[in-house]
Structure 1
């Protein structure tokens, strides 16, 4: 899948993987060594994340049911618990630095394409 920021026409991830089952949501990026540039993980349903058993930082987008960004965590550190965002219905985890590099902001509209 591909993740596009419709507000500024930036591609956020050209290789977006799905974590829609309980098992995939539970483990997410745990025990991985890195997240390659251009890749990401879409976790649905999800309103909060943790980074236990991770050794690298990530950027996190909290997305509403309408695909609007409702919250952002840049450089979310390992071994942390994130805030719960009630407006979010899903989360996208991206390589650290992606948000800044693509000028992505709260309120931007996203599109996920197969």
Structure 2
């Protein structure tokens, strides 16, 4: 697990899908997500066989938001050329968090056995 940190200082739980299998699986088979899921590397997503709509933010290599949109189930998104990562959350979450184009987000990873674990 990791933490998504917004410029406002707000934080949210974050899962990171770095392996090909984890990126392919994404949010499939789930009924929702707590916080967000970061697909890395990735420049596009689809919602085929998804059970719920998602907010999708394309991020560049510096984690700057290139675009934010909501995708209903059974849609295929077009690749974003400058995107290196895709952030997914339940539909409406990113608007509520204030995520918008041009903002830079931060990802804090938690090391096993570190101060965040007991």
The alignment's TM-score, normalised by the length of structure 2, stands at 0.85
Q: Which residue number corresponds to residue 46 of structure 1?
A: 42
Pairing 1:22-41 to 2, within 5 Å after superposition: 22-36=20-34, 39-41=35-37
Pairing 1:23-102 to 2, within 5 Å after superposition: 23-36=21-34, 39-74=35-70, 76-102=71-97
The number of aligned residues is 108
Rounded to whole Å, the distance in 2 between the matches of 1:40 and 1:103 is 14
Note the C-alpha offset of 1:49. Answer: 0.1
Say if 2:109 is the partner of 1:109: no
CA displacement, residues 6-34 of structure 1 (integer Å, 9 cap, x when unaligned): 2x3333x2x21111001001111111112
Q: Which residue number corresponds to residue 3 of structure 1?
A: 4
Note the C-alpha offset of 1:51. Answer: 0.6
Structure 1 residue runs of 5 or longer lacking an equivalent are none
Compute the RMSD of aligned alpha carbons: 1.1
Larger Rg: 1 or 2?
A: 2
Give the 3-state SS of the residue equivalent to 2:42 in structure 1.
Answer: coil
The alignment's TM-score, normalised by the length of structure 1, stands at 0.88
- Moved runs in structure 1, 4+ residues, more than 3 A? none
Note the C-alpha offset of 1:41. Answer: 0.8
Give the 3-state SS of the residue equivalent to 1:113 in structure 2.
Answer: strand
Rounded to whole Å, the distance in 2 between the matches of 1:107 and 1:10 is 17
